């Protein structure tokens, strides 16, 4: 009986983003990759359906040329997941499916590694060996006779020099048989860190038992495991995974970025050994492909990796763990613009498995869901081993200023740096994340100029010397005096790593330092290189942005300075307080070493700021109460949702007109949708066209439509309506549609 395959071609263009039918003359399964004729080309594709019924229509069917691998690249749940992602993230099927396979598999740029092995022909009479005269051939035959398995030719050459010619001769004579065997390239594994499995504390035990119970119930459930650093969360994950493995199911563990979390990964490797695959950015294409194949062919049951490991083809998934769930790196900023936590939830619901989100400082949204019953909350309130906490000092930079110190470094930080450097120890200096985010602050009283409507700081724009709100577009002149204390010390702030580096050099001209920020880490490995250089003490001081917060576990670091905590609190982004809280908590919670208790210096213009105080005390709950209250008042997520539609192009006027037209027409569409659902337009809290905060990048102008929607039962309908409208509106410069993007710059 003739078979037919429905294929998604691996071309990411909307117009071909649908199933194409082909005659399938060969054995193949759903999920397998194939080569098919397409137009007058041959392209790669994925079989998503196979049937024996001839597709309707009077077009002439073409025929599948061949299968590309002898196994299915995708399994059924991945295909379901892909359909869901296509709708949820408004992207093409090809874009999604590409996430699920190693990049180099496409175009067959990576192949299985074959090794030439040989074995003795079973018909060869082994008793005749002794009678052979001494020769290389005899050595080789003896070697093979002693071995119970096929031996790699490369190994024989190690023992018998110049064995190639005699081996070839033996093969030709039929005494020895050769066989090419597929091997897995073993990545240069992260050194395992073996920690003997401890007896759990009562808190850990309670958490673990509840997770095991959820696993047994076989229902999807998202659990937020909230516990301060050192409270033993990782140990709970590992024992939960052991339980899952005992049920013959698999696990995925996501970490923010492997090169920044080597210890965590090393512990998983130490505990699970050969049954764990680590997907990290330093793998070569071949190694990545082999690790993926080991997973796909069910040879490992635990995968540890960064964001994209959420697609790892673990079959019979029993749990997903997302460590440090508050990290931004779990959202993809390129299409498909997915959020790993949402995708994980979806996968877990197919697999009836729990999703564990772990953090010392969860996202406010996650904690809100945990408290309101959408997630389940499990908490670890105590540290396991009472390592000494560092001594934290908060320095009031306004006083420094009044006393005549106009430097970036306070007297205390300079003194501590000097002590640390003289003692031969190491220090880390944190600077705010984004060099360009700048705000205006009174250096005498610490007042920051805020948007009257939005509860975020106004951003200083150097070009026209004005202040703008990145949420509503409001614009104003910089006042001459401080609106609070009337003194004339308003100053634009926004210290970058560059500036800190310069002042550092002038204070400590002979001290070796390293700098790590978005500019210095362009290359693929530079992250790990800089951290590696610092770990091996090639420099005494590391100056960096938040990206090094995870890398705090350097034994020789005894001093951490936050150069200006206000910079973090005043980035015009509603999530900024939670990011600042998270960073300060992490820095202040860094476990000291028994012999060297570290110290932390936090410089700020607003020492009375509650966030800093609460973070230093690790008081997440009070932070949450205050912050969620603000979110509710200002109607920020989780009480609302942002959609940002970005337009880019060469001509500002055209972008302006397009975005304006989009905003007007799309608003009308959304209102219609709401009215059709017996609701009214007030659910659209805000919707305007305006220039993007960064008006130009790489010579392209940027214009945006910003939409803020109330969170109601209509929200997902509205998002669909926005996507649908964008498909039909034919705006040439529409660049992206983002839902609650990490940043709206």
Angle at 627 between CA 622 and CA 631, to 5 degrees: 150
Strand (E) positions, 650-740? 684-697, 700-710, 734-739
Given 232, 262, 572, 598, the residue binding ligand ADP (CB under 6 A):
232
Contact flag: residue 233 with ligand ADP (CB under 6 A): yes
Query: Is there binding between residue 394 and Zn ion (CB under 5 A)?
Result: no
DSSP character string of 461-518:
ETTTTEEE-TTT--EEEPPSS-TTT--S-EEEE---HHHHHHHHHHH-TTS-EEEEST
Per CB under 6 A, does 134 bind ligand ADP?
no
Q: Which does 469 bind (CB under 5 to 8 A by kind): ligand ADP, Zn ion, none?
A: Zn ion
Please report how close the Cβ of residue 110 comes to ligand ADP at its closest, in angstroms.
35
Residue 193 in the binding site for ligand ADP (CB under 6 A): no
Compute the C-alpha angle 32/38/40, nearest 5°.
Answer: 145
Sole residue written with tokens 């208790």: 597
- 200 touches which of ligand ADP, Zn ion, none (CB within 5 to 8 A by kind)? ligand ADP
Closest approach, Cβ 227 to ligand ADP, in A, equals: 5
Q: Tell me how many residues contact Zn ion (CB under 5 A).
A: 7
User: How near is the Cβ of 680 to Zn ion at its closest, in Å?
Assistant: 24
Contacts of 622 (CB under 8 A, 6+ apart): 614
Long-range contacts, stretch 434-437, CB < 8 angstroms, 24+ apart: 434/545, 434/571, 434/743, 434/745, 435/494, 435/496, 435/497, 435/498, 435/517, 436/494, 436/496, 436/694, 437/494, 437/567, 437/570, 437/571, 437/572
Residue 472 is a binding residue for Zn ion (CB under 5 A)? yes
Q: Which of residues 379-438 bind ligand ADP (CB under 6 A)?
A: 384-385
Q: Minimum distance between the CB of residue 691 and Zn ion, rounded to whole angstroms?
A: 14
Q: Report in angstroms how near the CB of residue 215 gets to ligand ADP at its nearest.
A: 19
CB of 597 to ligand ADP, least distance (A): 17
Burial class (CB in 10 A: 0-12, 13-18, 19+), 457: buried
Cβ proximity to ligand ADP: between 169 and 384 the closer is 384
CA atoms of 498 and 496, how far apart (whole Å): 5
Confirm or reject binding of residue 195 to ligand ADP (CB under 6 A): yes
Q: Does 510 bind ligand ADP (CB under 6 A)?
A: no
Q: Which of residues 440-459 bind Zn ion (CB under 5 A)?
A: 451, 453-454
CB 638 within 8 A of CB 575: no
- From the CB of 198, what's the least distance to ligand ADP, in Å? 3
The interface partner of residue 362, options being Zn ion, ligand ADP, none and the CB cut-off 5 to 8 Å by kind, is none
Q: Of 191-199, 216-224, 289-297, 405-413, which part binds ligand ADP (CB under 6 A)?
A: 191-199
Query: Cα(159)–Cα(482) distance, rounded to whole angstroms?
Result: 82
CB 387 → ligand ADP: shortest distance, Å? 8
Give 402's contacts (C-beta < 8 A, 6+ positions apart): 444
**Measured between alpha carbons, how far is 256 from 270 in angstroms, rounded to an integer?**
19
* Pick 348 or 450: Cβ nearer Zn ion: 450
Take residue 406 and report the two structure tokens written for it: 């106009």
| Collapsed DSSP state (helix, strand, coil) of residue 402 | helix
- Minimum distance of ligand ADP from residue 200's CB (angstroms): 5
Q: How far, in Å, are 551, 573, 578, 585, 666 from residue 620 at the CA level?
A: 22, 20, 10, 9, 40
Which range, of 93-101, 185-193, 228-236, 579-587, touches ligand ADP by CB under 6 A?
A: 228-236
Q: Which does 454 bind (CB under 5 to 8 A by kind): Zn ion, ligand ADP, none?
A: Zn ion
Give the range of 126-134, 400-408, 473-481, 626-634 binding Zn ion by CB under 5 A.
473-481
Q: Which is nearer to ligand ADP, 195 or 676 (CB)?
A: 195
Q: What minimum distance in Å lies between the beta carbon of 640 and Zn ion? A: 14
Among 231, 261, 331, 703, binds ligand ADP (CB under 6 A): 231
| Ramachandran class of 70: left when φ > 0, alpha when ψ lies in -120 to 50, beta otherwise | alpha
Strand 391-396 vs strand 599-604: parallel, antiparallel, or unpaired? parallel
Per rule CB under 6 A, is residue 341 in the interface with ligand ADP?
A: no
Inter-residue contact 339 to 210 (CB < 8 Å): no
Question: Which of ligand ADP, Zn ion, none is residue 195 near (CB under 5 to 8 Å by kind)?
Answer: ligand ADP
Of residues 664-723, those binding ligand ADP (CB under 6 A): none
Please identify which residue in 469, 562, 602, 616 interacts with Zn ion, judged by CB under 5 A: 469
Q: What is the DSSP letter of 559?
A: E
Contact (Cβ atoms closer than 8 angstroms) between residue 734 and residue 647: yes
Place of tokens 């995925």: 252
Pick what 11 binds: Zn ion, ligand ADP, none; C-beta below 5 to 8 Å, kind-dependent: none
Minimum distance of ligand ADP from residue 414's CB (angstroms):
32
229 binding ligand ADP? (CB under 6 A):
yes
User: With contact defined as beta carbons under 8 Å apart, do 82 and 91 qualify?
Assistant: no
- Interface residues toward ligand ADP, by CB under 6 A: 195, 198-201, 204, 227, 229-235, 384-385
- Interface residues toward Zn ion, by CB under 5 A: 451, 453-454, 469, 471-472, 474
């Amino acid at each position: 009986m003739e078979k037919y395959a429905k294929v998604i071609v691996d071309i990411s263009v909307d117009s071909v983003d649908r199933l194409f039918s082909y005659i399938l003359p060969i054995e193949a399964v759903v999920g397998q990759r194939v080569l098919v004729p397409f137009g007058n080309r041959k392209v790669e594709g994925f079989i998503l359906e196979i049937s024996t019924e001839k597709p309707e229509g009077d077009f002439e069917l073409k025929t599948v040329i061949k299968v590309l691998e002898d196994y299915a690249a995708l399994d059924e749940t991945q295909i379901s997941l892909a359909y869901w992602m296509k709708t949820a993230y408004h992207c093409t099927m090809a874009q999604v499916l590409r996430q699920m396979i190693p990049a180099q598999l496409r175009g067959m740029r990576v192949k299985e590694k074959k090794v030439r092995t040989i074995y003795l022909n079973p018909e060869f009479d082994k008793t005749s060996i002794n009678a052979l005269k001494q020769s290389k051939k005899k050595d080789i035959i003896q070697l093979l006779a002693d071995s119970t398995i096929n031996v790699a030719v490369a190994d024989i050459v190690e023992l018998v020099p110049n064995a190639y010619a005699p081996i070839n001769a033996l093969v030709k004579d039929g005494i020895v048989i050769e066989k090419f065997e597929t091997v897995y390239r073993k990545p240069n594994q992260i050194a395992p860190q073996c920690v003997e499995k401890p007896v759990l504390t009562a808190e850990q035990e309670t958490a673990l038992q509840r997770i095991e119970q959820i696993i047994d119930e076989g229902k999807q459930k998202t659990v937020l495991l909230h516990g301060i650093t050192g409270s033993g969360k990782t140990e709970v994950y590992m024992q939960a995974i052991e339980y899952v493995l005992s049920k013959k199911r698999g696990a995925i563990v996501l970490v923010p970025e492997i090169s920044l979390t080597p210890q965590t990964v090393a512990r998983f490797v130490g505990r699970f050994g050969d049954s764990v695959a680590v997907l990290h950015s330093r793998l070569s294409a071949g190694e990545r492909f082999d690790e993926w194949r080991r997973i796909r062919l069910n040879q490992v049951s635990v995968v540890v990796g960064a964001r994209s490991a959420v697609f790892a083809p673990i079959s019979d998934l029993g749990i997903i763990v997302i460590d440090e769930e508050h990290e931004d790196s779990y959202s993809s900023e390129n299409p498909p613009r997915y959020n790993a936590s949402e995708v994980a939830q979806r996968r877990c619901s197919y697999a009836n498995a729990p999703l564990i989100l772990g953090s010392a400082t969860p996202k406010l949204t996650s904690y809100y869901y945990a408290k309101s019953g959408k997630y389940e909350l499990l908490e670890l309130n105590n540290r396991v081993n009472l390592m000494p906490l560092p001594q934290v000092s908060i320095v009031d930079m306004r006083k420094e200023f009044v006393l005549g110190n106009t430097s970036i470094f306070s007297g205390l930080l300079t003194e501590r740096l000097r002590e640390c450097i003289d003692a031969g120890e190491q220090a880390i200096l944190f600077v705010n994340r984004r060099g360009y985010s700048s705000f205006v602050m009174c250096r005498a009283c610490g007042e920051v100029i805020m948007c009257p409507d939005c509860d975020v700081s106004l951003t200083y724009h150097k070009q026209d010397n004005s202040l703008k709100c990145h949420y509503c577009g409001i614009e104003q002149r910089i006042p001459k005096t401080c609106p609070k204390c009337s003194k004339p010390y308003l100053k634009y702030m926004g210290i970058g790593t560059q500036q800190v580096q310069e002042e550092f050099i002038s204070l400590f001209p002979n001290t070796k330092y390293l700098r790590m920020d978005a500019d210095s880490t362009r290359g693929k490995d530079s992250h790990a290189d800089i951290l590696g250089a610092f770990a091996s003490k090639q420099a005494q001081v590391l100056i960096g942005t938040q990206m090094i917060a995870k890398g705090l576990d350097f034994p020789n670091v005894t001093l951490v300075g936050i150069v200006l905590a206000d910079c973090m609190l005043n980035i015009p982004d509603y999530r900024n307080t939670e990011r600042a809280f998270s960073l300060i908590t992490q820095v202040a919670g860094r476990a000291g070493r028994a012999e060297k208790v570290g110290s932390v210096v936090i410089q700020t213009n607003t020492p009375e700021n509650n966030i800093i105080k609460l973070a230093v005390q690790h008081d997440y709950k009070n932070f949450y109460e205050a912050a969620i209250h603000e979110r509710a008042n200002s109607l920020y997520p989780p009480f609302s949702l942002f959609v940002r539609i970005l337009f880019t192009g060469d001509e500002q006027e055209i972008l302006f007109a397009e975005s304006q037209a989009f905003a007007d027409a799309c608003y009308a569409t959304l209102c219609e949708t709401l009215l059709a659902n017996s609701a009214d337009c007030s659910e659209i809290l805000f919707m305007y066209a305006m220039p993007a905060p960064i008006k130009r990048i790489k010579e392209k102008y940027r214009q945006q439509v910003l939409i803020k929607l109330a969170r109601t039962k209509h929200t997902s309908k509205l998002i669909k309506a926005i996507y649908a409208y964008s498909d039909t509106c034919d705006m040439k410069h529409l660049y992206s549609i983002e839902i609650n993007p990490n940043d709206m710059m």
